[in-house]
């Protein structure tokens, strides 16, 4: 069986082994895109070849998230929103609106804190608390987890296995969180490589980014969707990106 097809506990064993091989003192190796894509394609979000998974981190934000929902509705595209428990707790109605629009909710942790240096107990509590909130909103257990900053630890992998969560990072990102990001710079970074089978990371909130940084992602979103349409790629949720079996 190929590594890209591993699921559940088997995937946790494989990723944990990779971290241990790299040295547990440096689990941030999973945040290095080229290394991750080469050895852990599924963790990198490599999925169906005809499909592009569109994902957003750090919401829901009452100021910005509704604007992203409007663009997605215009293009009839559904996406996966990795929500922070702390943000979801403040805007549960908005999170329900995201679900009602057909989008998928993933777990981004309760607090946007680097997992390095956090104890296994603290890691479990943070992820489980966020998972429970997402489950309350959707009425079902969430499937996907993305750690803050894309840095996984052995404790986080044991946690996701225990909570039946599949960790997924990204294949392409727009670096839309910086002060100097623009819609064009975000579009250019996202589309500079082939997008077929990829997972795109954008942010629908600036709660952990430069103030107003979400506007660069919002401005780039129609351009990215047009780019995918022109190439005959289907854009959608992670649930469609990875077969359920």
Catalytic residues: 57, 203
Residue 207, Cβ density class (10 Å: 0-12 exposed, 13-18 middle, ≥19 buried): buried
| Beta-carbon contacts of residue 3 (< 8 Å; ≥ 6 apart) | 14, 39, 40, 41, 42
- Reading the block at residue 240, the tokens are 């469609």
Q: What are the structure tokens assigned to 110, written together?
A: 């309760």
CA 204 to chain centre: 11
Query: What whole-number distance in Å separates Cα of residue 35 and Cα of residue 115?
Result: 20
Which residues lie closer than 8 Å to 158 by C-beta, 6 or more apart? 12, 16, 120
């Amino acid at each position: 069986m190929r590594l890209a097809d591993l699921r559940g506990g088997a995937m946790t064993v494989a990723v944990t082994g990779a971290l241990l091989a790299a040295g547990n003192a440096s689990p941030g190796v999973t945040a290095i895109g080229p290394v991750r894509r080469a050895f852990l394609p599924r963790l990198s979000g490599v999925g169906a070849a005809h499909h592009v998974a569109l994902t957003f981190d750090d919401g829901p934000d009452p100021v910005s998230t509704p604007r992203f929902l409007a663009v997605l509705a215009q293009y009839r595209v559904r996406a996966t929103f990795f929500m922070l428990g702390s943000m979801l707790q403040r805007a549960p109605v908005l999170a329900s609106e995201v679900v009602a629009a057909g989008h998928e909710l993933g777990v981004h942790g309760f607090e946007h804190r680097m997992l390095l240096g956090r104890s296994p107990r603290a890691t479990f509590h943070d992820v489980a608390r966020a998972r429970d909130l997402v489950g309350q909103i959707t009425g079902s257990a969430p499937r996907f987890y993305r750690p803050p900053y894309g840095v996984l630890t052995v404790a986080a992998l044991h946690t996701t296995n225990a909570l039946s969560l599949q960790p997924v990072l990204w294949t392409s990102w727009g670096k839309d969180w910086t002060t100097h990001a623009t819609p064009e710079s975000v579009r250019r970074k996202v589309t500079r490589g082939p997008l077929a089978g990829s997972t795109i990371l954008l942010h629908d909130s600036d709660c952990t980014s430069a103030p107003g940084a979400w506007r660069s992602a919002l401005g780039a979103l129609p351009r990215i969707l047009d780019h995918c349409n022109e190439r005959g790629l289907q854009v959608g949720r992670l649930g469609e990106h990875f077969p359920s079996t």
